[in-house]
Copies of this chain bind each other. A is one copy, B any other.
Amino acid sequence: MIIVLKNQTTLQKREELIDWLRSKALDVHISEGQYHTVLGLVGDTGSIDTDMLEGLEIVEKVQRISEPFKKANRKFHEDDTVIETDTFTVGGGGFTLMAGPCSVESGEQLTGIAKAVKASGATMLRGGAFKPRTSPYDFQGLRADGIELLLEAKKETGLPIVTEIMNAQHLPLFEQVDMIQVGARNMQNFELLKELGRIDKPILLKRGLANTIKELLMSAEYIMAGGNEKVIFCERGIRTFETYTRNTLDLSAVAVLKELSHLPVIVDPSHATGVSRYVKPMALAAVAAGADGLMIEVHNDPAHALCDGPQSLTPAQFEDLAKTVFKVREALR
């Protein structure tokens, strides 16, 4: 870390800062310039708050050289991480195709969709049991019953399941869930992340609506610091000024995450665009950008199930998408 001091700094204040830094077990190298003094810190600066330093009256600028994330950092883990369980594998050159309805509605609905998407090549079943909704008056999901239905669909089709958690107290219900999703609004629910760091189950960590990639990496770090290193990133669109799409899918995040981290990256074009017509082009773009997998909303009867999201594909549309996805992957070999 480098600290640039203002040139009107008094020696006393400077000494106080240097003493404090040394009390944190850091080596401090001082280099005096014509206009500025620069302090170079060597040692573990992970716990130093740059915002705090930048706010000090004598400090002009602070520049962190090392990244504050460690366990998620490719620098300390060169090879791609492959998440393997007895039911599925994510990363390692394979492709994970998660599909299913936004909300679990009934057993019949879910099993129907599960069978259809499996036939088209899906490798996991997704479905919401606990639903985060902006309004308390909106449908909040089938909750525990929804998880029951997911487990039944898993039994019937063999597809491993992924579903969202909103409250660490619900963890006992997720015992047999294959992958637990943390939604965008909970990406910085640090208390929840800490709890998920204590279990041994893959976590699909969605990027928050207005969060940077660095913040996403730091949230992965919360889970990994607790001992659970099975984290998978999910890019699902960020908030921008654009209104024709619900959010803006940031596909460059795939390239950035693959460079900075060794963890796998999944893309969710359904929630990102919020419009079923845009799901296929964005799914193909995600594959071309290097994603390790996709999460796609599929509903078996959108005509009658008005409550399903506008971003859902029919099973037939999903089949077409999956075929083209495999063709693009083939072209990129």
Contacts and interface: CB of A to CB of B under 8 A. Distances in A.
Interface residues of A, number: 111
Contacts of A17: 306
Interface stretch (A80-88, A92-100, A106-114, A277-285): A277-285
Nearest to A224: B136
A209 to B, nearest CB: 6
Interface string A145-178: 0000000000000000000001111000000000
Given A36-B65, A277-B259, A285-B289, A213 B242 contact: yes
How many copies of this chain does one complex carry?
Answer: 4
A62 to B, nearest CB: 9
Contacts of A138: 47, 49
Given A61-B65, A166-B191, A241-B239, A221 B136 contact: yes
B190 A189 contact: no
Interface in A1-36: 2, 4, 13, 16-17, 20, 29, 31, 33-36
A100 B259 CA distance: 26
Given A134-B215, A215-B134, A40 B51 contact: no
A51 B289 contact: no
Q: Which of A134, A240, A276 has the most CB of B within 10 A?
A: A134
A246 interface: yes
Q: Chain B CB within 10 Å — which of A54, A214, A255, A256 has the most?
A: A255
Q: Secondary structure at chain A's binding surface: helix, strand, loop or mixed?
A: mixed
Nearest to A256: B244
A213 B240 CA distance: 12
Nearest to A290: B281
A212 interface: yes
A211 to B, nearest CB: 8
By Cβ-Cβ distance, the 10 closest A-B pairs, closest first, are A55-B310, A210-B210, A331-B331, A284-B288, A288-B288, A285-B285, A285-B289, A167-B191, A185-B188, A136-B225
Interface of A: 2, 4, 13, 16-17, 20, 29, 31, 33-36, 38, 40, 42, 46-47, 49, 51-56, 60-61, 63, 65-66, 68, 132-139, 166-169, 185-186, 188-191, 194, 209-215, 218, 221-222, 225-226, 238-246, 248-256, 259-260, 272-278, 281-282, 284-290, 303-304, 306-311, 324, 327-328, 330-332
